[in-house]
Amino acid sequence: MRRVAVIGVGVTKFGKHERTCAELFAEAAADAIQDAGVSPRAIQALYYGNVVGGEGDRQLHMGPLAASVLGIPTIPTTRFETACATSHAAFRHAVMEIAAGVSDVVLVGGAERVLNLPTDAATEYFAYASDATFEQPAGITFPGVFALVARAHMAKYGTTEEQMAHVAVKNHRHGALNPKAQFQKEITLEQVMKSAKVADPLKLYDCCPFTDGGAAVVIVSEEVARRSRKPVWILGSAAASDSMFLHEKKDLSRVLATERAAQAAYRQAGRGPQDVDVVELHDCFTIAEIVATEGLGFFEPGTGGIAAEKGWTGLGGKLPVNPSGGLKAKGHPIGATGAAQVAEIVTQLRREAGPRQVDGAKVGLVHTLGGNTATVLVSLLSSE
Amino acid sequence: MSKVVTLKAFFEEARAGRLTGIRCGRCGEIAIPPKEFCPACQERAWEPVPLDGHGTIASFTVIRVPPRGRAEEAPYAVAVVKLNEGVSLLGRILDIPLDALKVGMPVRFRPLLREEQTVVAFGPP
């Protein structure tokens, strides 16, 4: 298989926008293409991610729409949907297209727009990524799914609500350093603990926000990468699934798909968790960050909460996690999130992250989780 | 020869108060339908098996921000219940005070009927 590199990244400001998904994606994609230093004409395929555009915008057939708005309407396009892991899944497939020798320059990304919808409608559409036969009729929501994970983790390991709150405080501290973040302000532990209950034991500040935004990256073959500025190499990119049914999860305190995807990505890369310098992971809820740091092999099962409390995952700590502010503070435009996480790691590995730069970062890991813990993608990237 | 339990059949039985599982004719694994291959041994030899509906709460949450159309029901509890037969099932909690819920608490299946829809639910044993 051929080596593959990221040579350009683009991310819109995250927050509320008065533009369509295709417009948001196209802005990020144009930035990524210009960052890559290639002509738009050089792009050979588009892998596009969006989740709820069919429900929220009554818009399907989004791939050619995105390419049309970008201004390169004749390339092959495919739309991906794996709930919140959508554009990371698109990324993995685009990597395979280049690794297999089918193309040399591929554009990957996604966009989401939900802040124009009433909160209860957005909550309903997001819940469509849970099973529609058992779980939606019972009234489950996404905070509800992760509340079930949190309760199981608390019962098994003694993880506390305060430990979860530390994740939110840390990610807001990081987000305050990111000019693209939806929330660029610090919060206190007390604010998190006193925030309104959403799905016990999760409170408002344990939850990422609804977000509009777009993100894109340009990935290329080694031959093209050698001619470009600061290529970042993809060492591994793996996906794994777990049962879609919450009633079939073997252990609600773990995300088995994270463990499987991480093992596969580490194997591809010939690296292990000890080699990782910086991480962007899927903190859709504070408990999700704690469980992910365990599943990715950074901390022993049951100790992710302690790591958060002790500050090991903050900038300047043992292993900085979510220097961008994560989904919690940077925001979570679900179809764009995976590509935005890759863009942050590329920015870190190029040493271009400004005040949120992780010193000396050479190997970065991206972890994106889809829906009710049924889809996970993990990629490893390196500046060398 | 595998005997398929469709979702329609599962919920028709559930509406009448009966929970139906399936047992693998090769390895004895019990699952909640619908399923074609046994995830444990990959055999395709299911037999329907009645589940007694008793179990304990494995995890639960109280939903306070509900999806569209559920505002009048909130707050309400949803739990994953580990049934005595070893399989789990997710459902709504009924007739148990929200602040009394605990992991490990015994509960018993009963259907929640909402017009044409049947929802899996659990109440006091």
- What's the ipTM? 0.96
Domains of chain A with bracketed CATH? 1-384 (3.40.47.10)
Domain that holds residue B78: 54-123
Q: Residue A361: what are its φ and ψ, rounded to 5°?
A: -70, 125
Q: State mean pLDDT over A189-205.
A: 98
Let me know if A332 is a catalytic residue: yes
Contact A333, A213 (CB under 8 A): yes
Is residue B16 situated within a structural domain? yes
Is residue B2 situated within a structural domain? no
Q: For B102-111, how does the pLDDT look when each residue is reduced to its tens digit (9 = 90+)?
A: 999 999 999 9
The A residues from 134 to 163 touching B (CB cutoff 8 Å) are 134-141, 143-144, 147-149, 151-152, 155
**In A, which residues are within 8 Å of B68 by CB distance?**
118, 120-121, 123-124
Mean pLDDT, chain A, integer? 97
Q: What is the pTM of this model?
A: 0.98
**In A, which residues are within 8 Å of B119 by CB distance?**
137-138
CA distances from A38 to A43, A60, A207 (A): 8, 29, 38
Q: For A325-339, how does the pLDDT look when each residue is reduced to its tens digit (9 = 90+)?
A: 999 999 999 999 999
| Closest chain A residue by Cα to residue B91 | A138
User: Of B51, B66, B83, which residue is a domain's last?
Assistant: B51
Flag whether pLDDT at A261 surpasses 70. Answer: yes
- The chain B residues in contact with chain A (CB within 8 A) are 7, 31-32, 39, 58-71, 73, 76, 78, 80, 87-92, 103, 114, 117-121
Residues A197/A201/A202/A206 CA torsion (nearest 10 deg): 110
Is residue B1 situated within a structural domain? no
What secondary structure does DSSP assign to A242-311, as a single string? --S-GGG-S-TTS-HHHHHHHHHHHHHHT--GGG--EEE---SBHHHHHHHHHHTTSS-TT-HHHHHHHT
Do B65 and B96 fall within a single domain?
yes
The A residues from 331 to 360 touching B (CB cutoff 8 Å) are none
- Nearest-neighbour CA in chain A from B1: distance (Å): 24
Give A262: exposed, middle or buried? Use CB within 10 Å, 0-12, 13-18, 19+.
Answer: buried
- Nearest-neighbour CA in chain A from B105: distance (Å): 13
Q: For B19-33, how does the pLDDT look when each residue is reduced to its tens digit (9 = 90+)?
A: 999 999 999 999 999
Task: Please answer yes or no on whether A138 and B119 come within 8 Å at the CB atom.
Answer: yes
Q: State mean pLDDT over A110-133.
A: 94
Strands A278-280, A77-80: pairing kind = unpaired
Is residue B100 situated within a structural domain? yes
What pLDDT band is residue A76 in, cutting at 50, 70 and 90? very high
Task: Please answer yes or no on whether A144 and B78 come within 8 Å at the CB atom.
Answer: yes
Tokens representing A119? 């909160």
Contact A380, A365 (CB under 8 A): yes
Do B97 and B47 fall within a single domain?
no
Q: For A174-186, how does the pLDDT look when each residue is reduced to its tens digit (9 = 90+)?
A: 999 999 999 999 9
Answer whether the bond into residue A118 is a cis peptide, omega within 30°.
Answer: no
Task: Please answer yes or no on whether B90 and A134 come within 8 Å at the CB atom.
Answer: yes
How many whole angstroms separate alpha carbon B123 and alpha carbon A197?
24
Tally of domains within chain B: 2
Do B42 and B92 fall within a single domain?
no
Is residue B22 situated within a structural domain? yes
CB contact A186 to B (< 8 Å) = no
Do B82 and B112 fall within a single domain?
yes
Nearest alpha-carbon partner for A328 in A267, A373, A286, A381 = A286
- Nearest-neighbour CA in chain B from A144: distance (Å): 6
Q: For B40-52, how does the pLDDT look when each residue is reduced to its tens digit (9 = 90+)?
A: 999 999 999 999 9
State the pLDDT at residue B1: 67
Task: Please answer yes or no on whether B88 and A247 come within 8 Å at the CB atom.
Answer: yes
Task: Please answer yes or no on whether B63 and A137 come within 8 Å at the CB atom.
Answer: no
Tokens representing B76? 């309400």
State the pLDDT at residue B68: 87
